[in-house]
Amino acid sequence: MLLRTAFATGFLATAANAWNTDVHNQIGFAAETYLTSYTTSILQRILEPQYLGSIGRAAAWADSYDHTDEGAFSYQWHWIDSSDNPPAYCNVYYNRDCTAGGCVVSAIANQTSILRGCIARAKAGELTNGTDTTCSNALKWIAHFLGDITQPLHASGAAEGGNSYNVTFGGVETELHAVWDGKIIYSDANVTKFSNTSISPFFKGLVEKSILDNFPVPTAEWTACSDPSTPIECAMDWARDSNAWTCDYVYSQIYNGTDLVTSGYAKGAYPIVELQVSKAALRLGTWLNKLVMEEYNKDRQVVLGNVPSWVDGPSAGE
């Protein structure tokens, strides 16, 4: 297994984002439809003014920040590299797969812990207009990483998360990771790009479908784990859910150089990406509502330790 690290090549640096930036925006806009008015009012105090109080507008920030010198440390927070072998077997474990520099699971846990304190300060009137960047960044990371963790190739270490798996999509040579980041969902929605300022008709339709519970998997199962006081447990539950798709579909066929559009692969993936982005939106909205409404065990402490039982294992802390 090849691991993506903060010292990855320039090629990987351009290809490691999960969901394209506008898809992240749309997940955020969709999540906003689930927020209570009180939750929205509190989060608006935490975000910087340029986001106009919108989680959707802020949800893509992490993808640009991690490509700056200041934010390079957060580059590897976008994924967890499983040491499995799809399609033969799929699994992901925190102690084995979350490396010393962090991963999407530890990032969700850490930033949730920070955001809990920031919400308390916002409620007390001590925080307004996004003046505390640690707080605003925590909210933006949560909005982003709850999207990242639903993209199957961000819970998979095979072929560097699909970045080194070359495929053809619509007559264009690309990588499997890029196909799952945006090409499939663009093809499904029949667009070349989504809005980064408001929810699109396609995502509005997915929200309506979610509310009607009209997916093959009941929406109650999407948020079966949604307690902000157990962020590692919940994030691992979401990562395993995403990782399973790498065996069930992503790597389930022999490509043999076929075009993923004409072969039917893309069409077969449409319901999967619809399901995954819809999960991300509902989980994000639920997570934020529970944080603001304090629907969690406030006495529980989150203790993180990356690869505590696998320090010299396959990850070797890289």
Identify which of 244, 242, 250 has the alpha carbon closest to the alpha carbon of residue 266: 250
Q: CA-based angle 77:83:89, to the nearest 5? A: 125
DSSP 51: G
Q: Where are the alpha helices (DSSP H) in 82-179?
A: 94-97, 104-123, 133-148, 176-178
Write out the two tokens for 310: 């696998």
d(CA 90, CA 92): 7
What pLDDT digit, counting tens, does each position of 218-259 carry? 999 999 999 999 999 999 999 999 999 999 999 998 788 899
Asked if 146 and 278 count as a contact pair (C-beta separation under 8 A), the reply is no
pLDDT over 90 percentage in the chain = 85
Residue 144 has pLDDT above 60, yes or no: yes
d(CA 68, CA 44): 25
Residue 311 has pLDDT above 50, yes or no: no
Q: What is the pLDDT of residue 303?
A: 56
Residue 310 has pLDDT above 90, yes or no: no
Mean local confidence (pLDDT), 91-96 = 96
pLDDT over 70 percentage in the chain = 89
d(CA 148, CA 156): 12
Task: Write down how long the chain is.
Answer: 318
Write out the two tokens for 76: 């590897």
Average pLDDT value for the chain = 91
Q: Letter for the amino acid at 272? A: I
The full set of domains in the chain, from first to last, is 10-293 (1.10.575.10)
Q: Within its chain, how far is the Cα of 317 from the centroid? A: 22
Minimum mean pLDDT range among 196-205, 258-267, 296-305: 296-305
Q: Rounded to 5 degrees, what are φ and ψ at 121?
A: -65, -40
Residue 270 has pLDDT above 90, yes or no: yes
Residue 195: Cβ within 10 Å count: 15
Q: What is the pLDDT of residue 157?
A: 96
| DSSP run (H or E) holding 184 | helix 184-189
Per residue in 67-88, is it b (16+ CB within 10 Å) or e — as a string?
A: eeeeeeebbbbbbbbbbbebee
Torsion of CA 134, 20, 219, 42, to 10 degrees: 30
Residue 183 has pLDDT above 80, yes or no: yes
What pLDDT digit, counting tens, does each position of 60-92 carry? 999 999 999 999 999 999 999 999 999 999 999
d(CA 84, CA 202): 34
